Chain A
Amino acid sequence: MTVAEHEYPYLLPQADVLTKPFWDALREHKLAIQECGACGKLRHPPIGVCPECGSEAIAWRVMNGRGTLYSYIVVHQTALPNWRGSVPYNIVMVALDEAPDIKLYGNVVDFDDAQLKVGLPVVASYDDVTSEDTILRWRVVDPT
């Protein structure tokens, strides 16, 4: 459900010059990962210099959004005041199928937390949480 920013109870991303293209792509319901403009090495979170070749050239690659559940937790007690009413909730780490070294946080939606398991196939889902922000969630792919 989309709400005004001041009504959104959770934390929102503060984009910076390096991360803005990531959030802009999500706004268009695309998952884009930063890559080196010279050697093509993908990396996340975004950085300014390629660890592989040293190039400062930056490009972005749109991914197919498919991934595998790399790990997850189910939060029962949180230090974040505004999340306390939402426990228990899951947080997951997903390894992208096209680039397994890239791990992305998110939440799996519309799924029983008790059935979560490392290795589950998931697909990106785009949640327009405010009039300006879209954040990444994940859906478990039905194996059938």
Chain B
Amino acid sequence: MPEQDFREKIAIAGIGYSRSAENPGAFSKNSGVDVLTLAVRAAREACADAGLAPKQIDGAVMYQIFDDSVRTNQVLSALGCPAVNYASNLVGGGNYASFAVMQAAQAVYHGIANYVLVYRALNGRSGVRIGHWGAGAGGGQNRVGGEAQFSSIYGVAGAASQYGFEVRRYMELYGVTSLDLAHFAVNSRSNAVKNPRAMMRAPLTVEEHQASRLISAPYHLFDCCQETDVGCAMIVTTAERARDLRKRPVLISAAIGGGANPVPNIEDTSLIHLGPRLLRAADVTLDDIDLFEGYDAFTDMPMRMIEDMGWCKRGEAKDFIKDGRISLDGKLPTQTHGGLINEGYCHGFNNVLEAVQQLRGDTEDLCPNWHMGEHTYDRAVCRQVRDAKIALNVSVMGSSAIILKRDES
């Protein structure tokens, strides 16, 4: 029996975004609607993509933080689903981006439910601003408890200040510079330019990155993702059922994690523990992986994941990412949609959806017939990776990860 018995037996049958006539790209700074509407729009699009009636969904997995989203019972009810055989409401952050899919896969594999909806929906800019955590205090209430009593009193608030400590140490210990991060940012943006969903689509140069204002040094503006309003959804079912549906299935090869692992130092990611076990469970090597989507709340994060997975040594991602190695025609195409930084921040979940599209070969770009899977590979307009078979998605700081595989049957 393989390490993970569900390997390649469970599939992602469809994906969807919270698109509307006013906002066909789904990602925005102000959705103008409530979070339930975003979740339902994304779920309905995922069902249509799969060729499934919403009423056939009989389970759901979601994640949220600071009560910023809508529960599974609200969404399934709003979709008119008559049965709820499985429901999971996860409370946490970007650590669940890969894990939520894994949990749905487990439910399906064990026969608890047949079609499980996985979604992340939030008004992250116009509603609950998770990027502003820690900032709620003050203004009348000037005392903070919990762990924040040791950090927020010094001005630690929001992700850029928290993760700034990690990147600073990483940069100083391994000789990585802001210019190195700029090269990563430019590659991501060059992909976003060809992504109609992306919020940031203007071309970006290394010089513009370096000239952008400092947020929390060493982070410049263009190292950071943005608070976003959006909903993303997918349908998970057995590979067997998925093969009878509308789209080519994407198989779940292996998955792992869900929480931060204890690591010796803040510059380490959980992949130092999870990476080898994940590859073994999927029965693949790094050379087999055709594309990589890493949780990029900030530019350094996927670079550190590339190192901790073993593509190169610690501190060497700065060299690895040069010479086009992470570009669309390189050895390891990375952030093929522009990542969270450019497409928008659906708490990492949109990175999983992007990997699904790439493996199906129907990546949404500027090719005239992208939706029919016709790609030109002209890099001025096309961001489809050639013959993509296997993708790795990693959640925040390597806390969970998933390997997806194109169905060859």
A residues adjacent to B (C-beta < 8 A): 5, 8, 10-16, 19, 44-45, 70-83, 86, 88-89, 91, 93, 104-107, 117-118, 135
Given A11-B142, A16-B145, answer yes or no on A75-B216 (Cβ-Cβ < 8 Å): yes
The answer on a CB contact under 8 Å between B165 and A73 is yes
- Taking a contact as CB atoms closer than 8 A, the residue among A11, A15, A75, A86 that contacts B161 in the complex is A75
Per the 8 Å Cβ criterion, residues 147-176 of B in contact with A are 147-158, 160-161, 164-166, 168-169, 172-173
| Nearest CB of A to B226, in Å | 13
Additional pairs, 17, CB under 8 Å, beyond known A13-B150, A70-B169, A117-B172: A10-B153, A11-B138, A11-B143, A14-B144, A45-B147, A71-B168, A73-B164, A75-B217, A77-B216, A78-B158, A79-B132, A79-B134, A79-B135, A82-B138, A83-B157, A105-B150, A106-B154
| Nearest CB of A to B259, in Å | 15
In this complex, the member of B143, B168, B169 whose beta carbon has the largest number of chain A beta carbons within 10 angstroms is B168
The answer on a CB contact under 8 Å between B149 and A13 is yes
In angstroms, Cα B144 to Cα A10, docked, is 10
The answer on a CB contact under 8 Å between A73 and B217 is yes
- Taking a contact as CB atoms closer than 8 A, the residue among A71, A77, A80, A135 that contacts B166 in the complex is A71
The answer on a CB contact under 8 Å between B145 and A14 is yes
8 interchain residue pairs of minimum CB distance: A73-B164, A79-B135, A14-B145, A13-B149, A14-B143, A74-B217, A76-B214, A71-B169
Given A78-B157, A79-B135, A79-B158, answer yes or no on A118-B143 (Cβ-Cβ < 8 Å): no
1/0 contact string of B166-196 vs chain A (CB within 8 Å): 1011001100000000000000000000000
Given A13-B143, A74-B216, answer yes or no on A80-B266 (Cβ-Cβ < 8 Å): no
Q: Does B112 reach chain A (CB closer than 8 Å)?
A: no
